[in-house]
Structure 1
Amino acid sequence: MKLTNGKSRKSERLIALLAVAIFLFSPPLIIIVDRFSSSSVSWLPLYLFAAWGVVIGLTAWLMEQR
């Protein structure tokens, strides 16, 4: 019984991670970050790299065997 509860909790967390990833890479948020640039320095590549790293890091953390 404990095994199914652990699997359902893990799947719920992965679905929440998917929602966070969709939010981070949504076009309105990317447009906001792209327009935030000042003096011809674009923050978009840094934002995309950091967001992708966060998604990968959270995925690795959630998929760890405990």
Structure 2
Amino acid sequence: MNTPIRSQRLIALFAAALLLFNFPLLALWDGDLRIFGLPLFPTALFIVWGLLILALAWLAEDAEH
């Protein structure tokens, strides 16, 4: 069932993803910094992408119960 609150949460998640993967915020991670030997930019992209997938999975799982 598609409730209004679920739709609003999905739209908010989409907006957050759009903002996080857009140029102004993406430029914050672009640098020569390394974390545990890994470059910051791809590491940050992968972590943010994974967190968005987890949030989407949580929303989808919450809708089934």
Q: Which amino acid aligns with 1:29?
A: L
4+ runs of 1 displaced by more than 4 Å? none
Structure with the higher fraction of residues in strand conformation: 2
How many residue pairs get aligned? The number is 60
Task: State the Cα RMSD in Å.
Answer: 1.9
**Higher-Rg member (1/2):** 1
Structure 2, gaps ≥5 residues long: none
Gapped regions of structure 1 (runs ≥ 5): none
Of all paired residues, the percent bearing the same amino acid is: 38
TM-score of the aligned structures, taking structure 1 as reference length: 0.78
Structure 2-normalised TM-score? 0.79
